[in-house]
């Protein structure tokens, strides 16, 4: 007779686990949103309106969008320069294999899958630098795949 209770309890635990995994914080706070973004064609990224020229654009008073490409074995742009005390949403994709996009020292971290767009929203605090690393094995120079996030 406790079966339903256990089932409900384990569902709650699973949801809590998912919430923990998909929500994190940098300095003031980084929230990771596992959202369904429009898929992109890895073969024609150069023609994509945003990924064709990856970079940071202002979309609101203190709001920015950063389009980033992760590929063997670098992040573009590098460094990614964003303003302090603002909300930055990263959109990251890959033209080749699966990579990671992790902001060192924070729990902002996502897998980057070719054809898909990973999205992470970060609240920046004071000016400082963060390392960016790839945390999915992606080939011979995986360990050297690094970038920089500079908050100015």
Question: Binding residues for ligand CUA, per CB under 6 A?
Answer: 73, 99, 134, 136-138, 142, 145
CB of 134 to ligand CUA, least distance (A): 3
Tell me how far apart the alpha carbons of residues 149 and 131 are, in angstroms, rounded to a whole number: 6
Tell me how far apart the alpha carbons of residues 14 and 41 are, in angstroms, rounded to a whole number: 33
Output the CA–CA distances (angstroms, integers) from residue 15 to 8, 10, 11, 21, in the order listed. Answer: 11, 9, 6, 10
CB of 94 to ligand CUA, least distance (A): 8
CB of 137 to ligand CUA, least distance (A): 6
- Minimum CB distance to ligand CUA smaller for 32 or for 132: 132
- Minimum CB distance to ligand CUA smaller for 87 or for 109: 109
């Amino acid at each position: 007779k406790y079966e339903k209770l256990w089932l409900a309890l384990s569902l709650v635990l699973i949801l809590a686990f998912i919430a923990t995994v998909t929500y994190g914080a940098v300095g003031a706070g980084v929230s990771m949103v596992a959202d369904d973004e429009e898929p992109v064609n890895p073969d024609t990224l150069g023609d994509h309106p945003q990924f064709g020229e990856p970079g940071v654009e202002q979309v609101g008073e203190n709001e920015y969008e950063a389009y980033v490409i992760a590929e063997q074995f670098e992040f573009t742009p590098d460094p990614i320069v964003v303003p302090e005390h603002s909300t930055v949403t990263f959109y990251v994709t890959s033209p080749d294999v699966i990579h990671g996009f992790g902001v060192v020292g924070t729990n902002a971290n996502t897998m980057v899958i070719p054809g898909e767009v990973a999205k992470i929203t970060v609240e920046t605090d004071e000016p400082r630098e963060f390392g960016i690393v790839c945390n999915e094995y992606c080939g011979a120079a995986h360990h050297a795949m690094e970038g920089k996030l500079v908050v100015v």
